[in-house]
Structure 1
C-alpha cells in the first residue's frame, strides 16, 4: 500500500505540473478576469453580472493579446506583448513551485531557489507557447498554412 501511495503522489504531482505548464499562458487573462469580476461586484453588478463580466474581460484579454501578437510584425512589439503574457505566468509559476516545494522540503532557501527556477521555466514556457505562432500566418515551413 505504501508503494501505491508513493506512485499515486508522483502521478498527482506530475498532473499538477502538467496543468501548470499547460495553463501558464492564461495567467494574464485569469488575472484580468479576477480583477474585473470583484470590481463589478463592488460597484453593484451583482454576483451573476460580476461572473459574466470577469469571463468576458478574460476572454477579451486573451483574444486581443493573441490577435495583436499574430498581426504585429515588429519584433519589439511582439516581445512586449509576449512579456505581458509571460510575466504573470512566471509569477504564477513562482508561487505554484513555492507551494509545491513546501510539500517536500523545510529549508526556506531551497524553496526560494526552486521557486525561482520554476518561475523561469514556466515563464519561458508561456513565452514559447505564445511565440509558436508565426507572425505571417504561415505554417512555419515556407508555405502558407492550410485553411
Structure 2
C-alpha cells in the first residue's frame, strides 16, 4: 500500500510538471485576463461579467501576440514579444518550483536554488514553444529559384 502511494505521488508530481510546462506559454494571457477581469469586477461588472471580460481579454492578448509574432519580420519585435511571454512563465515556474521545494526541503537556500533552476527551465520552455510557432524565414535566394 505504501508503494502504491509513492507511485501515485510521483505520477501526480509528473502530471503537474507536465501541465506547468504545457501551460507556460499562456502565462501572459492568463495574467492579462486576471488583471482586466479584476478591474472589471471592481468597476461594477459583477463576478460573471468580470470572468467573461477577463476571458475575452486573455483570448485577445494571446491571439494578438501570436498573430503579431508570426507575421512580423522584425527580429526586435519578435524578441520583445517572446520576452513578454517568457518572463511571466519564468515567474510562474519559480513559484511553482518554490511551492514544491517547500514541501520537500528544509533548507531555504536550496529551495531558492531549485526555484531559480525551475524558473529558467519553464521560461526556456515557453520561449522555445513560442519560437517554434514562427514560420521559417525565406531568403531572397530561395524565392529566386522558384
Q: TM-score w.r.t. structure 1 length?
A: 0.91
Pairing 1:52–2:52 present:
yes
In 2, Cα distance between equivalents of 1:103 and 1:48: 35
Q: Conserved in 2, the CA contact under 8 Å of 1:69 and 1:135?
A: no
In 1, Cα distance between equivalents of 2:73 and 2:64: 15
Task: Count residues in correspondence.
Answer: 139
Query: Deviation string for 1:92-136 (max 9, x for gaps)?
Result: 000000001111111100000000000000000000000002335
Match in the other structure for 1:124: 124
Q: TM-score w.r.t. structure 2 length?
A: 0.91
Q: Conserved in 2, the CA contact under 8 Å of 1:102 and 1:111?
A: yes
**Which 4+ stretches in 1 moved above 4 angstroms?**
none
Structure 1 gaps, min length 5? 143-147
In 2, Cα distance between equivalents of 1:45 and 1:11: 41
In 2, Cα distance between equivalents of 1:72 and 1:86: 18
Structure 2 gaps, min length 5? none
Root mean square deviation, CA, Å: 1.5
CA shift for structure 1 position 137: 8.4
In 2, Cα distance between equivalents of 1:66 and 1:90: 18
